[in-house]
Chain A
Amino acid sequence: MESFFNWITVNQQIIYIVILMIFVGIEVIGHVPSVLHTPLMSGANAIHGVVIIGAIIVMGKAEGDNYLALGLGFLAVVLGTLNVVGGFVVTDRMLEMFRKKKKQ
């Protein structure tokens, strides 16, 4: 039990971030019209591509002779970039069509 409370104290910053972000995430998209469900999902999909940062770190730390880590890390960087770049471009393409109408 003591170790549990200890863990909370050590990680309190992170725990605060998690709790606050849950509320922010819910609050921020609370009033989205159903028309925007798909682009919003796609945009959120691109944002969780931040996982690429982890891939860059893991790749950048790999020792030159650890081929398993190098290979997997390289794959992780490629896949993470696909998620980020593809995600934002697809979202932009979807929304481009909405904007064009708005102007007229």
Chain B
Amino acid sequence: MELNILTVCYLIASVTFILGLKMLSNPASARTGNLVAAAGMTIAIAGTIFLYEEDGQRLHNYAWIFSGIAIGGIVGTFAAKKVKMTAMPEMVSMFNGMGGACAALISLIEFGHIHDMSAEPTGKLFIIFAGLIIGSVSFAGSMVAWGKLNGSVKDHSFNGQHIVNLLLFFASVAVAAWITIALPANAHMMVYAVLALALLYGVFFVLPIGGADMPVVISLLNSFTGVAAAFGGFLYDNKVMLTGGILVGAAGTLLTILMCKAMNRSLANVLIGSFGGGATATAGGAKAQGSVREISLSDASVLMSYAHRVYIVPGYGLAVAQAQHVCHELEKLLESKGVEVKYAIHPVAGRMPGHMNVLLAEADVPYEKLMEMEQANDEFPNTDVVLILGANDVVNPAAKTDPSSPIYGMPILDVELAKNVIVNKRSMKPGYAGIENELFFSKKTSMLFGDAKKVLQDLVSEIKNL
């Protein structure tokens, strides 16, 4: 009877996962979708704790289980509530890594439970190793991605890294295959070699990929973790783990491809293209010369207050400075003076697709003011001032003109079509892709150096005093 109830629990949970994902892909129902999936997850977890039986045996170690869930739950809630909007992408990467590590640990423990390997079916060993390798790669990769996004890990590549990566991967698979086939006596030690090789591969897989491409990598690792969870489902013949895992594996893979499309690049280009990055960056740096023109705060405020139409292009700089609220204030102030103010949102502005929308929505900027790239590009020729706030690569004309540029082919915001461009940056340092931006040297462009929040506050007070 109880096992039948558990089956129903799992069935409900599987349906909520599918429904949840479906609702998450529509702006109107997204939040409810998330809650639906969370409710299903709660049912599945509670059912497992209280109803699961194996060979007529209930689970034990309840004290361990509950304290583990309590610790994870409290820390997870706290971390997720406290994290700043700017650090969301890192947080997702971190949580994803936790899931990968969890899958790897399950495999590790299940392997430890095997006493007589020759008595086990080959399929079971295969499943355990698949979960171990994929989970470890996902964990190590996510941690590197996390480090890159918060700036503690730098891009790093060396000649022949492709080959080293491939060797690491094949070595870990080979050791696993050897254990499965040859059943060596010291298998319980060898399994740690598989673990170490897979972790190392995860690190080297992500290390050379540019920070700007981290969202794509996180999405890919996200689907890896899904597959690792599905292997856990195989192992326990657990349908909810299987459906949940495969669902995320498939949806995550598609999402990764959609993200690449938004940047007009292929997945292979994102994963491998990074290697040429170092060389072209220096080439681009040598080429971009000339002088930049600075503009004073009062000139900038006069220019904007007497403009007809102003476009604001937000980027990561805005997010870092937490300047979304004062940005909205500036927008309202200009509107009160009869200036039409809109935002041009590049699909990959910030560190993640949709990053800017979330941020500006937080500051109560109305939806209708957020223009997508195509609309904005149509309106730039009739725009007097474009104010760029800490965006760089998404307005870099090199994406159109320079085939050797790492971002070549990415659609950009054609801000050069506007009459004036004011760029707010903290310094002349290149953006995340590490390349110079010719736009800054253009005759139409003037620079307004400083922290986005500070500059916007000063602009607001200047305009008020006009």
Which residues does A use to contact B, with CB under 8 Å?
7, 11, 14, 17-18, 21-26, 28-62, 64, 68-70, 72-102, 104
Contacts and interface: CB of A to CB of B under 8 A. Distances in A.
Interface of B: 13, 17-18, 20-22, 24-28, 30-31, 33-35, 37-38, 41, 44-45, 48-49, 52, 54, 57-62, 64-65, 67-69, 71-73, 75-77, 79-81, 83, 88-89, 91-92, 94-96, 98-99, 101-103, 105-106, 108-110, 112-113, 123, 215, 218-219, 222-223, 225-226, 228-230, 232-252, 254-255, 258-259, 262, 347, 352-355, 357-358, 361-362, 364, 366-367
A62 B63 CA distance: 13
13 contacts: A17-B239, A31-B25, A34-B347, A39-B358, A43-B20, A44-B21, A58-B110, A73-B64, A74-B67, A78-B71, A80-B102, A82-B79, A98-B27
Contacts of B92: 38, 41-42, 45, 87, 90
B353 A34 contact: yes
B109 A76 contact: yes
A44 B347 contact: no
Interface of A is mostly: helix
A33 B259 CA distance: 11
B222 A41 contact: yes
Contacts of B254: 25-26, 29-30
Nearest to B37: A47
Contact of B65 (A45, A77, A87, A93): A77
Contacts of B105: 55, 72-73, 75-76, 79
Contact of B240 (A53, A69, A74): A53
A33 B367 CA distance: 14
B76 A50 contact: no
Contacts of A31: 25
B76 A18 contact: no
A25 B248 contact: yes
A58 B228 CA distance: 16
B228 A51 contact: yes
Given A37-B352, A38-B215, 5 more contacts: A14-B234, A30-B25, A36-B354, A70-B61, A73-B105
B354 A56 contact: no
Nearest to B83: A90
B262 A34 contact: yes
A88 B41 contact: yes
A57 B59 contact: yes
Contacts of B255: 29, 32, 37, 40-41, 44
